[in-house]
Amino acid sequence: MTDVKQLKVALLGAGTVGAQVARILLEDTTELTRRVGAELTLTGIAVRNLDSQRDADLPAELFTTDANALITDADVVIELIGGIVPASEYIRTALSSGAAVITGNKALIAQQGAELHALAAENNTVLAYEAAVAGAIPILRPISDSLGGDNITKVMGIVNGTTNFILDKMDTTGAAFDDVLAEAQALGYAEADPTADVEGHDAAAKAAILASLAFHGNFTFDEVHCEGITKISAADIAAAAQENQVIKLLAIVAKSDAGVSMRVHPTLISRDHPLAAVRGAYNAVFVEAENAGDLMFYGQGAGGNPTASAVMGDLVTTARALVAGALTAPVEANELPALALDDVQTSYAVTMRVADQSGVLAQISSLFAENNVSIEAMRQTAMDEAEAAGVQANGDKAEAWLRIVTHVGREADLAATVEKIRELAVVKEITSVLRVEGN
C-alpha cells in the first residue's frame, strides 16, 4: 500500500480490557492497516502507575502517566479506565479537540451520554461504545444501524456476566455467593467495585443505553428500576429448581404509547426458556421489532479478550469513517417519557411460610382478588418436604410452605397485594417475591 494515512490512537487504561486492546493493536498492525486503509499507530498508554503488572506483555516505552498529553495529540482516544472522574474529563477533552472517542464505560454513557453525543456532533467527530453493553456481542450497532429502519418494541436480556456467572454456579454447584464472586473477579468479569455488578447498577446502566438506542431517546441510569442479586438465597434457587425454573438477572426495556419502561431485577424463568441456557459469563439479548420480529444475540458478555474485540470493532469502523471522511450525522432524540415501575405489566412468584390450618388459602387468595391480581398457580408443601428439597423451611409442623404464581398484572397491584398478605396473622414470613418472565 502506498501513501497510507496514519491515525494516532491513544489508549487510556491498561487493565483487563485495555491491556488486550493494546496487545491486539500491536500484534495485528499490518492486517488492521489493510482493513482500515490507514495505519493505526498506538502512540501511548496512559496509566496511573508505571510499575503495575499487566495482563499482556507490552513495550515499556508506550506507558505514560500524562493522559492529557496523549489525548491532545490523538486522532482516536480509547478510554478504558472506567468510572466517571476523570474519564468524563478525558473524553470531553478528546471530543472537544475533534478526536474520535471509543469507550467501554457504560456507567459514564448511562449518565452523560446525551451531552457527550452532543459534544461529538459539535466537533464533527464520533463517540462509539459497543463494548459498553454485553461485551463481545454486537448489539448496539445492530440496534442503531441494522434495525434503524424498524420499530423496536422491547429489548430483554442477560447483560451482566458477573451476576450470570454467580447465579449459574449457585444453581449448578450449590457454591456460596462470596466464593463465586471472588472467582468472577479473578477472571476479569467484575467491575473495579463489584457492588456495581451484584446490586444491578451495571445492568441498569446497560438498560438505559439499550433503551436510548432502541427507542431513539435519551434515558439515564437513574430512570431504570434496579434490583440486584444480593438478596437471592440458596433457598430461592432451590425453590426455583423445584418448579423447573432458574433465576436470572434480566434487563428489560419496553416501549408503549405511554412511554418507556426500564427495569433490572432477578427473574424466574423456565428451564426451557432460551435464556435459561445462558451459562457462565455469557450474555444474551432478545430484541422484538415490529417488522423483523424476534431476534436473539448471544456471546461472551465480559472478560478482557471478548470486550477488547468489541473495542477493536469500534476502532476499525471509526477509522474507516475517518479515512473516508464520512461520519454519521447526529440523530435528534425523541421525547418519550420514562415510565414508573408501577405501570409495568409482569407476574410474580410469592413464597411464604404460613400457618397450616383451614381457611388460610381462602384469606390469601381473597386479597389477590381484591387487588385485581389473578392467581395462575398455587402450591402448598409441608415443612419437612420443603426442607428435604433444600427450600427454606423451619421444620415447624404447624406451618406450611406456600408458593403462589400470578398471571400478568400491573406491578402496583401486585406490590399492594404482597403488602396486604404480609399483614395477615396466618402469614409467618414472606420469604421471597420474584418476578416471572416467559410463562
Which residues contact Na ion (rule: CB under 5 A)?
130, 134, 137, 139, 310
With 0-12 / 13-18 / 19 or more C-beta atoms within 10 angstroms meaning exposed / middle / buried, residue 297 is: middle
Paired sense of beta strands 100-103 and 76-79, if any: parallel
- Residue 217, CA distances (Å) to 120, 154, 321, 341 in order: 17, 14, 24, 18
Per partner kind, with CB cut-offs from 5 to 8 A, the member of ligand LTNE7NMQ, Na ion, ligand NAI, none near residue 130 is Na ion
Site for ligand NAI in 187-226 (CB under 6 A): 188-189, 191-192
Beta bridge partners of residue 225, listed in sequence order? 263
Q: Find the angle CA(395)-CA(401)-CA(402) to the nearest 5 degrees.
A: 175
CA 382: distance to chain centroid?
A: 38
Q: Find all residues with CB under 8 Å of 78, minimum gap 6, and list them.
A: 9, 10, 11, 12, 18, 21, 101, 102, 103, 311, 315
When asked if residue 101 is in the footprint of ligand NAI (CB under 6 A), the reply is: no
- Cell output for 185: 473477579
Check residue 219 and report its DSSP letter: -
When asked if residue 20 is in the footprint of ligand LTNE7NMQ (CB under 6 A), the reply is: no
Site for ligand NAI in 292-321 (CB under 6 A): 302-303, 307
Q: What sign does the CA torsion over 57, 61, 67, 69 have?
A: negative
The distance of closest approach from Cβ of residue 104 to ligand NAI in the complex, given in angstroms and rounded to an integer, is: 3
Determine the Cα–Cα distance for residues 107 and 342; give it in Å rounded to an integer.
Answer: 25
If the CB atoms of residues 187 and 361 are measured against ligand LTNE7NMQ, the closer one turns out to be: 187
Catalytic residue, candidates 106, 169, 206, 248: 206
- Mark whether 206 is an active-site residue: yes
- Residue 59, CA distances (Å) to 47, 54, 76, 304, 331 in order: 13, 11, 20, 19, 40
Site for ligand LTNE7NMQ in 272-311 (CB under 6 A): 301-302
Considering only 7-15, 165-173, 356-364, 386-394, which stretch makes contact with ligand NAI by CB under 6 A? 7-15
Considering only 90-98, 160-168, 261-269, 407-415, which stretch makes contact with ligand LTNE7NMQ by CB under 6 A? 160-168
When asked if residue 189 is in the footprint of ligand LTNE7NMQ (CB under 6 A), the reply is: yes
Q: Find the angle CA(67)-CA(70)-CA(74) to the nearest 5 degrees.
A: 135
If the CB atoms of residues 126 and 159 are measured against ligand LTNE7NMQ, the closer one turns out to be: 159
CA 398: distance to chain centroid?
A: 43
What is the size of the binding site for ligand LTNE7NMQ (CB under 6 A)? 11
Per partner kind, with CB cut-offs from 5 to 8 A, the member of ligand LTNE7NMQ, Na ion, ligand NAI, none near residue 111 is none
Would you name the residues annotated as active-site residues?
206
Which positions touch ligand NAI (CB under 6 A)? 12-18, 46-48, 67, 80-82, 86, 104-106, 131-132, 135, 188-189, 191-192, 302-303, 307
Which positions touch ligand LTNE7NMQ (CB under 6 A)? 135, 160-162, 189-191, 197, 202, 301-302
